[in-house]
Structure 1
């Protein structure tokens, strides 16, 4: 009976070795989980960056395609309008029969122009500078975004007005006599191409300005990166 009370050294060594193995296994699991979580976070960041680039590319392509189509429709509406019967009374006055096909094309061009402007400012946001000091302190990308924002609005206002005036001139069923609207639809179609350039430039510069603001708020060596 006394021999049973004596501890067995082999059992003691076995229990101590199993305990060490358990701790090693737990530590290995924790390290693997940390590595996997860090890889998942980095992969998510990479995929989000790729998605952002893809969205920006698709927005630019959408603006260029739709604005180009609007410009072509405006020019085509001018060509069809000129084929309709018209007679000049004086140098500035003429009698013209409206063209329903020109009305359709002009209206479609105006609608497409408005859609591209809305989409570009929806994804690009609104870049505002309220004073000269803000303009001087802002980054070059933000300054370019403000300039192209104004130019895109000017191109929209003038081009949309031209297309609507030319479209309304062909909306009536009777012959219209009045001041000659020469090349109004053509000018509206050409302004669609200028609107395309200004809007794409605005979107690119506004997106770059937003990225710069985020980097300035969260620098690489800042507290967020250290945490």
Structure 2
């Protein structure tokens, strides 16, 4: 009877992990796609360019889409960290000395990618604010780059979960 109960908990837990992975990856993919759409909206704005100086009007649509992308990235990262920590608390560590270091490296990489993506998206949003000056140095495609970093965050989050799950042994019967 105890073995069937553990098997039932294991199946439910596996479904929860898969659901959470799809949720986090989905939020990251939505953030990336919305950031790419914001870049397209930013490019549609009238601009003139003379050597290294570029005069561009801000795009309200790109600004709003950038905010949405930043919100999706933040939500995905918060969920990834919260669920990743709760998964690691539900497992016991295997007797392999390198496992905690690999897991911590993946956790740190998740934070680095999330902060970099948020910073790049913020720079793209900042270039589309209404109060900015009309001319300046050539703006790079911050929103597009931020969208690509959102996709990278999805990959790093999946790697974080895989290292957490593979490196730990399920302990339902304590």
**Larger Rg belongs to:** 1
Is 1:208 the counterpart of 2:169 in the alignment?
no
- 175-184 or 112-121, larger mean C-alpha shift: 175-184
Which of residues 149, 153, 157 is equivalent to 1:195?
153
Taking the TM superposition and a 5 Å limit, the aligned residue runs for 1:162-177 are: 162-172=120-130, 176-177=134-135
The runs of 5 or more residues in structure 1 that have no matched partner are: 1-38, 128-135, 219-223
Q: Distance in 2 between matches of 1:153 and 1:174?
A: 30
Superposed CA deviations along residues 164-215 of structure 1, whole A, max 9, x for unmatched, are: 1111211215662222221111100001111110111102211333326x59
Distance 1:105 1:53, change over 3 A: same
Q: How many residues align?
A: 166
TM-score w.r.t. length of structure 2: 0.85
Structure with the higher fraction of residues in strand conformation: 2
Runs (4+) of structure 1 moved beyond 6 Å?
none
Distance 1:118 1:112, change over 3 A: same
TM-score w.r.t. length of structure 1: 0.66
Compare relative contact order (CA 8 Å, sep 6+) and give the higher one, 1 or 2: 2
**Equivalent residue number for residue 35 of structure 2:** 74
> Any conservation in 2 of the 1:98–1:175 contact (CA below 8 Å)?
no
